[in-house]
Amino acid sequence: MRDAPQPQVVFPRIGRGTKIVLALLLVFGVLGGILANYTPVGDTFFKWLIFQPAMIFKRPWTLLTAALISNPDSYMQLVFTMIAWFFFAPAVEERWGTARFLRFSAIAIVVGNVLVALFNVAAPEGVHPFHPGAVYGSWAALAALGVAWGRENANAQMRLFFILPMNGRAFVWVTLGFCILGVFFPASVTEGIVAPFGGFITGLLLSGSPSPARALYLRAKLAFLRRKGERVALDIDKPKKRRSGGPPLRVVVGGLDDLEKRQTPKDKRYLN
């Protein structure tokens, strides 16, 4: 009696960009834990890397570097962050390429932190979750990657938490659900409760082939070219039609027996 085939777990192939991100997260996560718990320079380390909305113009680099920091009092945030990057980033990088993947992730992080700064100014003073003193983490990038993965793999099947089956379309909504949960449990979102929504919006605008943002740019460029000259006639939506007045292709019988007696066709087109 043959043994039943055992299910195999296929891990994603990690690209160069994902390796860089994972290495940075690991180095800064471990270094931050060591400096915060065993040295007197931990406060200075976090001061120059985490994002403080009130210091956005004095330390603009923290809009990006805050994503490399994790909770120095527990390793769980670092572990779960690296697992999420490991499972979703490689597929997006493989489809887009390293440059677009890294650019997309950086934009999502910056947009998330800028959104935190805007709500810090606009929200009422009494609503404390909208006024964090300092934020850190890469939830915004992970939310954007979740949307990108779902849109690029709309029909692909996955198991959330290795249990719940769903396709890519459904996972986009699940990502939004996690963003909303952060509003009800602000202590669990060290990035600020609105940062994941910035990543989600970034994912909607910049993912896809082409992305909605790029499609809008191409249409605007097309309208500009058409306005610039009447001879410009481009249409990216309709396929090109065959010219009706052109002569049809002709099949020429092969062989060398009667090559000297054969007359050359007038349209000069051969299909051998």
| 61 three-class SS | coil
Q: Looking at residue 1, what is its pLDDT?
A: 45
Count Cβ atoms below 10 Å from residue 19 Cβ, excluding itself.
14
Q: Could you tell me the residue ranges of all domains in the chain? A: 16-206
Tell me: pLDDT of 7 over 50: no
Q: Which residue, among 135, 146, 115, has the nearest Cα to 187 in the 3D structure?
A: 135
Q: Looking at residue 256, what is its pLDDT?
A: 55
Tell me: pLDDT of 209 over 90: no
Which pLDDT tens digit goes with each residue over 44-86?
Answer: 999 999 999 989 999 999 999 999 999 998 899 999 999 999 9
**Distance of alpha carbon 193 from alpha carbon 189, whole angstroms:** 6
Pairing of strands 164-167, 157-160: antiparallel
Q: Looking at residue 234, what is its pLDDT?
A: 46
Q: Band the pLDDT of 21: cuts 50, 70, 90.
A: very high
Which pLDDT tens digit goes with each residue over 129-184?
Answer: 899 989 999 999 999 999 998 888 777 777 666 666 777 788 888 889 989 999 99
Q: Report the topology of domain 16-206.
A: Rhomboid-like fold (1.20.1540)
Q: Looking at residue 263, what is its pLDDT?
A: 66
